[in-house]
Amino acid sequence: MTPLLRSPSQLVNPLARQRFLGFGTAAGGGEWTPALLSPMTWFDAASIGVGNGNPIGTWSNQGTLGASGDATATGTARPTLSSTGINGGPAVLFDGVDDLMAFSHSATTAFTIWFIYKANTASGRHRVYDDVGGNRLVGFYDTSRSVFTGSFLYNGSTATSTQVFIAQASSSGRSFRVNGTTVTDATSAGVLTGVAGLGKTTEFIKGNVSELGLMNRILTAGELTSLTQYLTNKSGVSA
């Protein structure tokens, strides 16, 4: 008996639904992933080998910089793995008290940053990048700091729902997308230095991060569409 062909609305699994519609696949077939963009930094919580609730000392970089770009933490500063932290999948849980992971990457005047984040508190603001002094940060959540030149700051909803952020900047301008929609952000474009961290001393992330990527260029329109589809599908967010 020939099985009935399901319609897109009948496919519960988001990846299956995207494949049915022709999305989420690479040009040569197979599932699309950010590896096709050759990012210099790519952290994916699915690659972490510790068990649920265990501390994470190293978050391995799957980008082109390899192990030289690993994010590391020691002692009580280590975040933990939440096996169902975002959309039923793994995420790195930062406690908002002292968890902090530092990593290095290549400095560049044109860049793309993306990450999937779910806050554990509904106060404060989401900042993607902060270009001032030694405070080059990626993806932290704070309650009081000022906005600095080069920052990407989301002043929209601070609810504890999952957020997908894509920030891009170059000499020709900048753009900031939250859950696939362009939003107004902080100030003018900055530069991406080689120093970064998931959080910073006295300014800690309080929530889950399931993925983070850094590019040393802005994306083409097609790449941006593919990345947005991938991130929203993974996070369960509707773009």
pLDDT tens-digit series, residues 41-88: 999 999 999 999 999 999 999 999 999 999 999 999 999 999 999 999
State how far the alpha carbon of 84 is from the alpha carbons of 50, 57, 80, 236, in Å.
Answer: 13, 19, 12, 13
Q: What is the pLDDT of residue 8?
A: 40
The set of residues, in sequence order, having a beta carbon less than 8 Å from that of 127 and lying 6+ positions away, is 137, 139, 140, 141, 142, 145, 151, 152, 153, 154
Q: Which residues of the chain have pLDDT under 50?
A: 1-23, 144-149
Note the helical H segments in the chain. 14-21, 221-235
Q: What is the pLDDT of residue 124?
A: 58
Tokens of 189: 């474009």
Q: What is the pLDDT of residue 1?
A: 46
Q: What is the pLDDT of residue 188?
A: 55
Of the CA atoms within 13 Å of residue 109, those in its CB half-sphere come to 3
pLDDT tens-digit series, residues 142-153: 554 444 445 566
Report d(CA 215, CA 114) in Å as an integer.
9
Question: To which residue do tokens 């793995």 refer?
Answer: 81
Q: What is the pLDDT of residue 57?
A: 98
Domains and CATH numbers, the chain: 32-235 (2.60.120)
> Nearest Cα to 92, choosing from 79, 104, 101?
79
What are the E-state strand segments in the chain?
Answer: 41-44, 58-59, 71-72, 80-86, 89-95, 101-104, 111-119, 125-130, 137-142, 152-154, 162-170, 173-178, 181-182, 195-198, 206-215
Distance of CA 139 to the CA centre of its chain: 7
**pTM, 2 dp:** 0.82
By the 10 Å C-beta count (0-12 exposed, 13-18 middle, 19+ buried), 40 is classed as: buried
